[in-house]
Structures are given as structure tokens and as C-alpha cells.
Amino acid sequence: MARGRRPKHETNPSDLLRALQADSDRTDKELAGLLGVYPTWIHRRKRLLRDRGYIRANRAIVDTEKIGLDMLAFIALRLKDSDLERGRKTAEWIAKFENVQEVHHVTGDFDILVKLRGKAARDQRRFLAHLSVDGNIERPLTLIVTGTVIETTEIVINERDALAVDADISRNGGDGSEPEASLGTEPVSDDEARD
């Protein structure tokens, strides 16, 4: 975009969030071209989105089959003592086990749901043996995944949520109404904003 030109349309921080979810490897300059804004706008909004907690991390998504972790299991656990504090400690202990990707407190017949990746059934057996050490786990129910239709980390940002994000970032100097210094960054040239 040539200097001195205004964006063709209104671009909001939620538009940037959507673009980053689709491909976070894009440079600020590429994102600016996609959204019709200046790279400095991208740089500042990315920083605000991180500072406000909307972006928690930028990570590579590893192809688990290529590294030999082709077994995916969900393991539901019922606790003998479902006291909140004891349940939290049990969940934190489980989260430290190798290849545990997610641990959730759930409602219903079970108390904790675990997502486990591994190399075939031996990793699942090791995990279940590990669980038997904790006297608070009554009974596990293991579901081995035989096929996956969709697996994503992308979140749909609907219009209501987008408005809330945009209002929050705007309140915090993201709409350009605040002086540059209040954004917590020095002015950034287009060359500096490439990454």
C-alpha cells in the first residue's frame, strides 16, 4: 500500500485474529496487504492482542503420524473423591505425563477427560498403569480414535464476539485514537514490521 493512502475498508482487530488463525506465519507486511492496512497497524494490533490475552502463543502444529504418535485416545476418569481441590491436584498430576495433550474437568458420569497421543497400545497401557498409582482414580474408560474427520485449533469468531474483541482493543488504544506513545510501542517503520 502506498504511503498516505487510507485503507479501502474498516479493518478491525478481530479481522487480524481470523487471519492469524488461518496462517500465523505471514509477515506483518503480508497481513497488511491481505487486510488493506499498513504494516504498523498490524504490528501494533498484534502486540495489543497479545498483551490483552487474545493471542496466547504462536506454535507449529506437528504431524503426529510423521513422528510415530499415531494412536489417539480419550480417557474418561471417575474419581473416588471428587472434592474440588483433590480433583484439581489429580488433574495437574495427570497433565505432567508424557504425551498428554489435554486434561479437562467434566460433568456427567466422569470427572476428568484426558486426550493422550502415543505409539500404539503400549503408551496407553503405560498411561493406565501410571494412573493406578493414584488411589483417587476409580475407573478409566478409554476410547481409541479409529479415524478423524476434523481436528483443529481454529476458533470461529462470530460477529458478537468480534464486536467484543474490537471494543476491548479499541478501549485500550487499538483504534488509533490514542497517541502512539500510549500504545506501548515506538512508531515502527514498514521494514521493522516485516516479522
Q: Average of pLDDT values for 103-113?
A: 95
Helix axes of 39-51 and 13-22: crossing angle, nearest 10 degrees: 90
Task: Work out the pLDDT band at 185, boundaries 50, 70, 90.
Answer: very low
Q: Residue 180: what pLDDT?
A: 36
Q: Is the pLDDT of residue 150 over 80?
A: yes
Listed in order, strand segments (DSSP E) in 37-183 are 71-79, 100-105, 112-118, 137-144
- Report the C-alpha gap between 179 and 115 in whole angstroms: 46
* Per-residue pLDDT, 191: 53
**Positive or negative, the Cα torsion across 169, 171, 175, 176?**
negative
- Rounded Cα distance between 28 and 41, Å, is 9
- Please indicate whether residue 181 or residue 78 has the higher confidence score (pLDDT): 78
As a CATH number, domain 71-144 is 3.30.70.920
* Range with lowest mean pLDDT among 9-13, 60-64, 147-151, 158-162: 9-13
Contacts of 162 (CB under 8 A, 6+ apart): 12, 14
Are residues 170 and 162 in contact, defined by beta-carbon separation less than 8 angstroms? no
Write b or e for each residue in 138-149: b if 16 or more Cβ atoms lie within 10 A of its Cβ, otherwise e: eebebeeeeeee
For residue 186, what pLDDT is reported? 39
Q: From CA 74, how far away is CA 114, in angstroms rounded?
A: 6
pLDDT confidence of residue 173: 62
pLDDT higher than 70, residue 15: yes
Mean pLDDT of 97-113: 94
User: For residue 1, what pLDDT is reported?
Assistant: 43
Neighbours of 62 (CB within 10 A): 10
Mean pLDDT on 98-106: 94
| Whether residue 110 has pLDDT greater than 90 | yes
Report residue 2's pLDDT band, with 50, 70 and 90 as the boundaries: very low
d(CA 12, CA 25): 20
Grid coordinates of 112: 476428568
Given a cut of 60, whether residue 189 has pLDDT beyond it is no
Would you kindly state where each structural domain of the chain is located, as residue ranges?
13-58+155-194, 71-144
pLDDT at 184: 32
What is residue 83's predicted lDDT score, i.e. its pLDDT? 82
Of residues 87 and 190, more confidence is placed in 87
Could you read off the pLDDT of 40-86 as tens digits, one per residue? 999 999 999 999 999 998 888 888 889 988 899 999 999 988 788 88
